[in-house]
């Protein structure tokens, strides 16, 4: 089973590139951001708990998100691959993901780290706000999300670098050009697995 961690700052295109991977490879997508937004939309207890946290651009607690992720992952049966989008976002989450996958006899195959300059990230998120109306896509909250990304999330790259799983992707071009880089990495991965 292929396990892809798609990683990068807010607006780096994790969701966009995940859709391209799904179209080509048929992998299952687990986006923790989408799972949380669904809870908010349905007005669940969990949704109420996380609404303000997401609205401020803060991270929800590790315990809460690890629990959500584990339940979602354990629901999957016989899938060829999984894309973890927006998880892990802290080193503790990365350690827990390793344990969750180990229990199923599998491991992270690759981390695709999308690198994009800050001005471009802000431009993309403000453009998305006009279409999606996402509560966390406004200038004040975007700035907080970027600070939190730098402080708490960016160090996760080192975890996967040390494990020899890191693949850096230039996330600044067109959607198709970025996907070409990702596709090359995934094709090499399947060649290695086939050997
Ligand atoms: P997410 O939903 O993961 O929010 P995100 O980081 O902004 O990523 P998203 O997928 O939306 O954006 P993308 O990079 O695809 O999380 C939301 C919140 O949930 C977090 O802030 C946090 O509070 C909470 N949360 C989620 N997971 C958590 C965890 N593990 N631990 C704790 N809290 C957690 O950017 C897409 C935008 O860029 C789109 O508008 C797209 O059209 C555009 N775009 C993409 N590629 C482009 C390109 N090449 N050129 C131009 N535009 C492009």
For the chain, which residues make up each domain, given as ranges? 2-171
As a whole number, the mean pLDDT across the chain is 96
Q: How far is the CA of 19 from the centre of ligand 1 (A)?
A: 13
Between 151 and 194, name the one with better pLDDT.
151
Mean pLDDT value across residues 121-144? 93
pTM: 0.96
Minimum mean pLDDT range among 70-74, 126-130, 181-185: 126-130
Q: Cβ < 6 Å from ligand 1: which residues?
A: 10-16, 32-33, 36, 53-54, 57-60, 65, 86-87, 89, 93, 124, 128, 136, 145, 174-175, 178
**Mean pLDDT value across residues 75-82:** 95
Question: The sheet that has 166-170: what strands, in order across it?
Answer: 28-31, 81-85, 2-7, 110-115, 166-170
pLDDT in tens, 140-168: 999 999 999 999 999 999 999 999 999 99
What is the distance in A from the centroid of ligand 1 to the CA of 14?
6
Sequential DSSP letters for 1-45: -EEEEEE-STTSSHHHHHHHHHHHH--EEEEHHHHHHHHHHHT-H
132 pLDDT tier (thresholds 50, 70, 90)? confident
| Rounded Cα distance, 169 and 178, in Å | 7
CATH of domain 2-171: 3.40.50.300
CB-based contact 7:161 (threshold 8 Å) = no
With cut-offs at 50, 70 and 90, classify the pLDDT of residue 189: very high
* 9 Cα nearest atom in ligand 1: 6
- Residues above pLDDT 90, as percent of the chain: 94
The residue whose CA is least distant from atom 33 of ligand 1 is: 59
| Cβ atoms 85, 33 nearer than 8 A | yes
With a cut of 70, say whether residue 195 has pLDDT above it.
no
Going from the C-alpha of 5 to that of each of 58, 82, 121, 130, the distances in angstroms are: 21, 8, 20, 28
Q: Measured in whole angstroms, how far is the alpha carbon of residue 152 from the centre of its chain? A: 14
**What is the position in ligand 1's atom list of the atom closest to the CA of 12?**
14
Q: Compute the distance from residue 195 Cα to the ligand 1 centre, in Å.
A: 35
């Amino acid at each position: 089973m292929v396990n892809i961690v798609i990683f990068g700052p807010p607006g780096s295109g994790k969701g966009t590139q995940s859709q391209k991977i799904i179209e080509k490879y048929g992998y299952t997508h687990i986006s923790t951001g989408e799972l949380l937004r669904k809870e908010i939309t349905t007005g669940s207890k969990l949704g109420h708990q996380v609404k303000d946290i997401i609205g401020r651009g803060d991270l929800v607690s590790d315990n809460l998100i690890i629990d959500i992720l584990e339940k979602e992952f354990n629901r999957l049966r016989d899938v060829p691959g999984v894309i973890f989008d927006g998880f892990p976002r802290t080193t503790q989450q990365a350690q827990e993901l390793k344990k969750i996958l180990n229990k199923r006899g599998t491991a992270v195959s690759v981390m695709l780290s999308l690198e994009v300059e800050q001005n471009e990230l802000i431009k993309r998120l403000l453009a998305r706000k006009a279409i999606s109306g996402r509560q966390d896509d406004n200038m004040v909250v975007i700035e907080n999300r970027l600070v939190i990304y730098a402080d708490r999330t960016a160090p996760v790259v080192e975890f996967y670098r040390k494990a020899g799983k890191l693949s850096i992707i230039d996330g600044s071009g067109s959607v198709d050009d970025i996907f070409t880089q990702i596709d090359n990495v995934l094709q090499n991965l399947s060649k290695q697995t086939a050997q």
